[in-house]
Amino acid sequence: MRYFVAVAEELHFGRAALRLHMTQPPLSRAIRRLEAEVGAELFTRSPAGVGLTAVGAVFLDEARGLLEHADRVRARVGAAAAGLVSVTVGMVADGTGLGMAALAAAYRRRHPGIDVRIRDTDLTDPTCGLRAGLVDVALTRAPFDGTGLAVRTLRSDPVGVVLHADDPLARSGGLRLADLDDRRWFRFPPGTDPLWQAYWHGGRPREGPVVRTVRECQQAVLWSSTVGLAPLGHELPGDLAVVPLLDMARSRVVAAWREGDANPLIRSLVEIAVEGSEW
């Protein structure tokens, strides 16, 4: 996998071999063996150079994810061998809002010797890498496909619509989703969890710019006069305003972990999050 990623990123067997501190012939043989196992060519080879095939492009995304997971496993095994204990916490882009500092402080007090690692994800993966094994527990927002996951609600936040500050609707004390039917919305890329998309798109397909991060959402409103939803209570740039949505279900902040994972550090984090009044 590492050989393949090196060649895919360099698009040159010689440079990839130098990067991997090996000679080119065994690298070429290893890639040929990999292609035989996959059952398809991963690279095009011509006098003009090396390129990824369509299969190779798909394989590259998967290979990077697998290698990231392998690195995480290696780090955890190494920490365990050294007598250290760690837990990786995934967080969705907005950090789930206020109270994070208090939660972190409470967890440190209860587990002063634990190495807590944080992995931020954008708005395209509400499980924060949980399914891919990149995190042990996710502090995120529902709804999303919970198959194979345990999910515990921590709190719920009211939701509003983000508008340009000079938008006539921005002066309203409250709006309904129907008031926004003729507007362009920022939306998430194809392949994003359908339940997640449906919620943040107000329950119906929308037209507008595709976004992946909170900042991209804000910039879409500033530059393209689109609208979109966001939990109330978050700071916004001065040229933006948020108006409460009167008929929108509240956004649930949740902790999620893999079903059957008995890691006590996960259970402790969830307990602290549920018990903490400041959270």
- Tens digits of residue pLDDT in 82-108: 555 788 999 987 655 657 888 888 888
**Torsion angles phi and psi, residue 87, rounded to 5:** -140, 135
Cα(87)–Cα(136) distance, integer angstroms: 6
Record the tokens describing residue 9, joined without a space.
Answer: 């990123």
pLDDT of residue 71 exceeding 80, the answer is no
Cis amide prior to 194 (ω within 30 degrees): no
What DSSP character marks residue 131?
A: T
Sign of torsion over alpha carbons 8, 14, 19, 22: positive
pLDDT value, residue 278:
45
pLDDT for res 221: 93
Residue 31 has pLDDT above 60, yes or no: yes
Residue 129's region, left for phi above 0, alpha for psi from -120 to 50, else beta, is left
Q: Report the C-alpha gap between 233 and 252 in whole angstroms.
A: 14
- Residues in CB range of 231: below 8 A, 6 or more apart: 94, 97, 141, 157, 158, 159, 160, 251
Total residue length of the chain: 279
Among 131, 96, 90, residue whose Cα is nearest residue 251? 96
Residue pLDDT, tens place only, 160-210: 999 999 999 999 999 999 999 999 999 999 889 999 999 999 998 999 999
pLDDT computed for residue 42 by the predictor? 96
What tokens were used for 121? 């994800």
Tokens describing residue 133: 């094994």
Mean pLDDT of the chain: 89
pLDDT of residue 28: 94
For residue 19, which of 9, 6, 32, 8 has the smallest C-alpha distance?
6
- Residue 192: its pLDDT value, please? 93
> Is the pTM higher than 0.75?
no
> Is 141 within 8 Å of 251 (Cβ atoms)?
yes
Instruction: Return the structure tokens found at 246.
Output: 């009167």
pLDDT single digits (tens) 230-268: 999 878 888 999 999 999 999 999 999 999 888 888 988
What are 131-141's pLDDT values in tens digits? 888 999 999 99
Percent of the chain residues past pLDDT 70, beyond the cut: 92
The full DSSP string for 156-168 is EE-EEEEEETTSG
Token duo for residue 26: 């065994």
Residue closest to 256 by CA, chosen among 195, 204, 201: 195
